[in-house]
Chain A
Amino acid sequence: MAYAVRAENVSIRYMTGDFKDIGLKEYVMRRLTGHYYVKEFWADKDVSFRLEPGEMLGIIGSNGAGKSTLLKAVSGIMVPTEGWVDVRGKIAALLELASGFDGDLTVRENAYLRGALLGYTREFMNRKYDEIIAFAELEDFQERRFKQLSSGMKSRLAFSIACLVEPDILILDEVLSVGDGAFRKKSETKMKEILKSGVTGILVSHSIGQVRSMSDKILWLDKGKQICFSGDVEKTCDAYEEFLITKKTPQGPEGIERMAAEFQERKARERAEKEKTEQEKLLELLQTADRTAAERAAREFLSGSV
């Protein structure tokens, strides 16, 4: 079957150690004296997944799990050290929106520059410019230097330009929630609109609720290793939430199954606990309160409405 994105055994290695920031003179010295060390660090190890057109992949994992690095490989910014990624269609990656603007340029100039960076044409920007500014609510700031803007305004502009993309594959790295409350709602609606139009999407979000409601498939990474890739979003998210509490990673599909069950149990237990405390409260009322309140409590207690 035709796929939109396929990653096979993707591994990405970062080099860490001495070499950064030491400069040429120091580098030569350390090389000569044999004190030069380079360590390897695998940000991703053997990650594989496959997305059909129109599907939405949610990537979950704690900080440093290798999510953003994986997205860089998918969007072509990085080439995997091992394995390969194949992407079929035009890809747009919206990673960390607010950076990459120039403080000395005006809002208008920055808008055009960002548009160019995202691969839009000048005609497209000319046509859409007013719409962008209106959406970002920056009509009065167009000739303002960018560094004079508040950080909320900056990310609003970034989002407004970025959401005009019409790609086949859309990568979202924590971009669904920007700006203040009102703008956040607007941006979420806009994003959902785009996602509903049939693009293939990859979503990284720390909001597990968002992942649950939007994804068709889920990829769970932990310290660069792939815990699982599955179509059972609910179960995997359950297991992940259990992992967030217990900090134990599951082994294989059975492990996930078990952890999901544990999470459900935990939830049931918590619910029971809550109910119990409600009941206790009522009992207490029954014993200590005045007559009318006690009667009401007794009636409720007996009818079993709690």
Chain B
Amino acid sequence: MKNYKAGIKRVITKMKEHKFLFEELVKRDFKQKYKRTALGMGWSVLNPLLTLLVMRLVFTRFFGRNMEHYTTYLFAGNLMFSYFKESTNGGMQSLMSNANIFTKINVPKYLFLFSKNISAVLNFALTLCVFFVFTALDQVPFRPSMFGIIYPIITLTMFNVGVGMILSAMFVFFRDTQYLYDVFTLLLMYMSAIFYNADAYTGWVQRIFLLNPVYCNIKYVRVVVLEGHLPSPAFHGLLLLYGSIALLTGGLIYKKCNQQFLYYV
């Protein structure tokens, strides 16, 4: 435990030391992503909206018939899932795309990943604003429980960073990680009950859904926005557990492989 605390402290002092570098990396990633185009950020909001539109058109007949506020229900799923997808995909690239830097200069490697995540967070924040506009349009009554949305944002961010770390390390060692992960995210998308209702299944199938961390985070958002109350304490614990496990695993892999990355890039 002491060791663990000391480790966190070291990371924080290092972060302070590298504040300038981190800011410059964030700026670079941001400019790289939007290529200074006028539509730039607009496009990344438009993208999930288009997905939403298609899903709304296609699935309402099948899944939305007995559901109130189906648009909000869909959007909540898309919002969280696209954040997960973007953040982890960006994270996966973070080591390889900066290989020519860390093989020449001694800098902490997680900075690259954190910086990639910042642009995903910004994107998410924008989409989140649009999400609230849509809930208003969808005539979902405003409830104080909506502020609870901050909790799954935190736990999903933890989860994303952790998974990003694991993926970026794997991507250094195995170059086909990218394609395998594409397949995986597609499968996960169908498993996350984005456009259908998982509650319609029997008890034990529902429990299987709970094994999916992304689904749990989506579920949380739906509960606080659509049902208007906070989930049970156990559910809070579950989200935190998923986030912590991912983060811890990622951190350990980085610590263990820190020196090995160099040989593979």
Do the two chains belong together in a single complex? yes
Residues of A within 8 A of B (CB): 14-15, 19-27, 72, 75-79, 93, 95-96, 99-100, 102, 104-105, 109, 112-113, 116-122, 125
B31 and A118 within 8 A (CB)? no
Task: Tell me whether A25 and B176 are in contact (CB under 8 A).
Answer: yes
Given contacts A21-B175, A25-B176, A78-B262, contact A109 B31 (CB under 8 A): yes
Residues of chain B within 8 A (CB-CB) of A116 are 18, 20-21, 23-25
B3 contacts the other chain (Cβ, under 8 Å)? no
Known: A78-B262, A113-B24, A113-B28. 9 other contacts (CB 8 A): A23-B174, A24-B180, A72-B103, A77-B106, A100-B105, A102-B32, A113-B25, A117-B21, A119-B21
Q: How far is the CA of A102 from the CA of B97 in the complex (A)?
A: 11
CA distance A19 to B107 in the complex (A): 26
Q: Whole-angstrom distance from the CB of A31 to the nearest CB of chain B?
A: 12
* 5 tightest Cβ-Cβ pairs between the two chains A and B: A23-B176, A116-B21, A24-B174, A116-B24, A76-B106
Complex interface: chain B residues within 8 A of A25 (CB): 176, 180
**B180 contact set on A, CB distance < 8 A:** 24-25
**CB closest residue in chain B, given A124:** B20
A27 with B174: CB separation less than 8 A: yes
Q: Which B residues lie within 8 Å of A26 (CB)?
A: 176
Measured in the bound complex, the distance between the Cα atoms of B167 and A117 in whole Å is: 24
- Across the interface, do A20 and B264 meet the contact criterion of CB distance under 8 Å? yes
Give min CB distance, B174 to chain A, whole Å. Answer: 4
| CB closest residue in chain A, given B260 | A15
Partner of A77, one of B27, B31, B103, B176: B103
Determine how close the nearest CB of chain A comes to the CB of B25; give it in whole angstroms.
7
Question: A117–B25 Cα gap in the complex (Å)?
Answer: 9
The distance from the CB of B130 to the nearest CB of chain A, in whole angstroms, is 28
Binding site secondary structure of chain B: helix
Given A14, A93, A121, which contacts B105 in the complex, CB threshold below 8 Å?
A93
B263 contacts A112, C-beta separation under 8 Å:
no
Point out the residues of chain A lying under 8 angstroms from B232, CB to CB.
Answer: none
Query: A109: which of B28, B100, B175 is its contact (CB, 8 Å)?
Result: B28
Q: B177 interface residue, CB < 8 Å from A?
A: yes
Q: Which residues of chain B in 226-265 are interfacial with respect to chain A, using CB atoms and an 8 Å cutoff?
A: 259, 262-264
Bound-state CA distance A20–B173 (Å) is 7
Contact A23 B175 (CB under 8 A): yes
Interface presence of B35 (CB below 8 A): yes
Known contacts A105-B31, A116-B21, A122-B20; is-contact A95 B104 (Cβ 8 Å)? yes
Q: Given A24-B174, A116-B21, answer yes or no on A96-B259 (Cβ-Cβ < 8 Å).
A: no
> What is the minimal beta-carbon distance from A129 to any residue of chain B, in angstroms?
13
How close is A118's CB to chain B, nearest CB, in angstroms?
Answer: 7
Q: A75 contacts which chain B residues (CB < 8 A)?
A: 106
Does chain A have a CB within 8 A of B170?
yes
Q: Tell whether, in the assembled complex, residue A77 and residue B105 are in contact, meaning their CB atoms are under 8 Å apart.
A: yes
Chain A residues whose CB sits within 8 angstroms of the CB of B28 once the complex forms: 102, 105, 109, 113
Nearest A residue to B98 by beta-carbon distance? A100
Q: Which residues of B contact A104 (CB under 8 A)?
A: 31-32, 35
In the bound complex, residues from chain B placing their C-beta under 8 Å from that of A15 are: 263
- Cα separation A95 to B259 with both chains bound (whole Å): 18
A119–B25 Cα distance when bound, in Å, is 13
Q: Name the CB-closest residue of A to B99.
A: A100
Could you say which residues of chain B place their CB within 8 Å of the CB of A96? 104
Provide a sorted-by-A list of 9 A–B residue pairs whose CB atoms are within 8 angstroms.
A14-B263, A72-B103, A99-B100, A99-B104, A100-B105, A104-B35, A117-B21, A117-B105, A119-B21
A91 to chain B, nearest CB (A): 8
Distance, CA A287 to CA B259, complexed state (A):
74
Q: Nearest-CB distance from A205 to chain B (Å)?
A: 18
CB closest chain-B residue, reference A21? B175
Contact at A120–B20, with CB atoms within 8 Å? Answer: yes
**Which of chain B's residues 5-34 have a Cβ closer than 8 Å to chain A?**
18, 20-21, 23-25, 27-28, 31-32
Residue on B with the closest CB to A101? B100
Q: Which of A15, A119, A120 has the most CB of B within 10 A?
A: A119
* Residues of A contacting B18 in the complex (Cβ-Cβ under 8 angstroms): 116
Complex alpha-carbon distance, A81 and B103, angstroms: 17
A22 vs B27: C-alpha distance in the bound complex, in angstroms?
A: 34
Smallest Cβ distance from A70 to chain B, in angstroms?
Answer: 14
> Complex: how many Å from CA A20 to CA B172?
9
Closest chain-A Cβ to B147's Cβ sits at a distance in Å of 36
Chain B nearest CB: distance from A49 CB in Å? 20
Q: Which residues of B contact A99 (CB under 8 A)?
A: 100, 104
Cα-based distance from A122 to B27 in the complex (angstroms): 14
B122 at interface, CB cutoff 8 A: no
Given the interface contacts A23-B176, A102-B28, does A77 sit within 8 Å of B262 by beta carbon?
yes
Residues on A with C-beta less than 8 A from B27 are 109
Q: How far is the CB of B17 from chain A (nearest CB, A)?
A: 8
